[in-house]
């Protein structure tokens, strides 16, 4: 999994976004244990404190939970995961749509192009 | 700070209004800072801003003229030295001594030392243990000293310019080694000019100017507040 974070904005929300994406793409499957904070921090080259703060954000959003001695797990709640999937899609499409609209493309042009790319 | 308050954290290093001088020259004129256990703090500032003097005061090597320094809650910073690793930017060394010889000697002098870790680090950085210190290039000597220091089993690490004169790729490996050494019981204070390439390594930033603290805070809070990277923030202060 590739990652690079912008340093002109707080890191922990970017790490949280990276973790969410990893949950959606199946790298961290539903109901399974996450790697330890230490391991994730090393993998992402950030401090354990920053990683911890990102995990707290995910926990507050109900995407992960802590088992006292076993570590942190991805939620098994299908409805919550479906919502996350939806949020990720909307977020990505919004960014794309905003950018292309600014460049003057029409909705029809974009949809035709997207459909063609999808088939490749 | 919402997610990362200081209340529940153990303060490994704290300083209030520190002043120190060399003869008539004031090197510190009011330094305050906090470095909680489990965190890495970048100590930045222009050359001559007081970073090294601050490290020496915290290591108990220089007596402050005013103010208070606490290491793990103790004001006698010299007495706390068993828990402190002081990594000098200009270390004294015996040119004829081998790298591993230095590590063994450090291990003898320290209450707690992780010799296997030192050997593993030297191996990772491809520094032969039997290499004489005097035969190493400037960069590799700094790297060898870094390995010897990091293997100290301390609770407070005062690292003065550990990345100076080190190439980019090696610096990345040093960052990994440092991150792997962080745990809840250890605090790191790192003097550095290489903030730009090391943004993710630091939890906190302290900036000194002319012997005073002019900025201190959690890295992500500062990025949020100022809308820029720590490196750009620092540039504005210098």
Q: Is residue A1 part of a domain?
A: no
Place of tokens 């100076």: B164
What are the CB-based long-range contacts (under 8 Å, 24+) for B121-130?
A: B121/B147, B121/B150, B121/B151, B121/B177, B122/B147, B124/B173, B124/B177, B125/B170, B125/B173, B127/B99, B128/B99, B129/B98, B129/B99, B129/B100, B129/B103, B130/B98, B130/B99, B130/B100
pLDDT of A73-117, one tens digit each? 999 999 999 999 999 999 999 999 999 999 999 999 999 999 999
Closest by Cα among A37, A33, A22 to A85: A22
* pLDDT for B6: 63
The verdict on A71 and A15 lying in the same domain is: yes
Out of A5, A12, A42, name the one closest to residue B180 (CB).
Answer: A42
Average predicted confidence (pLDDT) for chain B: 93
B154 exposed, middle or buried (CB, 10 Å; 0-12, 13-18, 19+)?
A: buried
pLDDT > 80? residue B181: yes
pLDDT, mean of residues B73-94: 90
The verdict on A66 and A111 lying in the same domain is: no
Cβ–Cβ gap B231/A7 under 8 Å:
yes
Provide the chain B residues 82-121 that lie in CB contact (below 8 A) with chain A. none
A16 to chain B: which residues are within 8 Å by CB?
none
pLDDT > 90? residue B229: yes
Closest by Cα among A68, A67, A72, A70 to A54: A72
The verdict on A36 and A60 lying in the same domain is: yes
Q: Round to whole Å and give the CA distance between B31 and B28.
A: 7
A49 to chain B: which residues are within 8 Å by CB?
4, 38-39, 203
Search chain A and give the residue with CA nearest B39.
A49
The verdict on A65 and A17 lying in the same domain is: yes
Nearest CA distance, A100 vs chain B (angstrom): 26
pTM: 0.92
Q: Is residue A46 part of a domain?
A: yes
* pLDDT for B3: 45
Cβ–Cβ gap B203/A49 under 8 Å:
yes
How many angstroms from the chain centroid is the CA of residue A44? 14
Contacts of A57 (CB under 8 A, 6+ apart): A12, A13, A16, B3
Q: Round to whole Å and give the CA distance between A97 and B216.
A: 40
* Band of residue B174 on the pLDDT scale cut at 50, 70, 90: very high
**Does B229 contact A at CB distance below 8 Å?**
yes
Out of A45, A50, A56, name the one closest to residue B220 (CB).
Answer: A50
Domain housing A89: 79-118
Residue B157 near residue B187 (C-beta atoms within 8 A): yes
Cβ–Cβ gap B232/A8 under 8 Å:
yes
Domains held by chain A: number: 2
The verdict on A64 and A23 lying in the same domain is: yes
Q: Is residue A108 part of a domain?
A: yes
The verdict on A48 and A19 lying in the same domain is: yes
* pLDDT for B7: 57
B229 to chain A: which residues are within 8 Å by CB?
7-8
pLDDT, mean of residues B78-86: 90
pLDDT of A37-81, one tens digit each? 999 999 999 999 999 999 999 999 999 999 988 899 999 999 999
């Amino acid at each position: 999994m590739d990652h690079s974070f912008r340093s002109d904005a707080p890191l922990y929300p970017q790490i949280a976004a990276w973790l969410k994406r990893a949950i959606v793409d199946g790298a961290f499957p539903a109901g399974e244990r996450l790697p330890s904070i230490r391991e994730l921090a090393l993998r992402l080259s950030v401090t354990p404190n920053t990683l911890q703060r990102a995990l707290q954000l995910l926990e507050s959003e109900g995407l992960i939970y802590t088992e006292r001695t076993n570590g942190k797990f991805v939620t098994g709640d299908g409805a919550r995961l479906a919502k996350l999937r939806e949020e990720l899609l909307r977020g990505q499409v919004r960014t794309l749509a905003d950018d292309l609209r600014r460049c003057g493309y029409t909705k029809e042009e974009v949809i035709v192009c997207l459909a063609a790319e999808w088939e490749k | 700070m919402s997610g990362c308050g200081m209340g529940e954290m153990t303060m490994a290093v704290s300083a209030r209004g520190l002043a120190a001088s060399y003869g008539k020259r004031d090197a510190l004129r009011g330094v305050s800072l906090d470095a909680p256990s489990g965190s890495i703090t970048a100590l930045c500032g222009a050359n001559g801003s007081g970073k090294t003097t601050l490290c020496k005061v915290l290591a108990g090597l220089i007596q402050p003229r005013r103010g208070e320094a606490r290491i793990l809650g103790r004001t006698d910073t010299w007495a706390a030295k068993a828990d402190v690793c002081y990594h000098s930017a200009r270390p004294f060394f015996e040119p004829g001594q081998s790298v591993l010889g230095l590590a063994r000697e450090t291990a003898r002098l320290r209450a707690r030392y992780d010799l296997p870790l030192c050997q593993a680090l030297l191996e990772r950085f491809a520094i032969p243990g039997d290499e004489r210190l005097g035969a190493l290039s400037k960069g590799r000597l700094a790297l060898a000293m870094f390995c010897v220091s990091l293997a100290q089993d301390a609770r407070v690490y005062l690292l003065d310019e550990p990345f100076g004169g080190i190439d980019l790729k090696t610096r990345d490996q040093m960052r990994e080694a440092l991150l792997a050494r962080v745990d809840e019981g250890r605090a790191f204070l790192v003097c550095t000019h290489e903030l730009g390439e090391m943004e993710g390594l630091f939890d906190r930033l302290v900036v000194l100017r002319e012997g005073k603290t002019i900025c201190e805070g959690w890295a992500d809070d500062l990025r949020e507040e100022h809308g820029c990277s720590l490196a750009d923030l620092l540039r504005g202060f210098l």
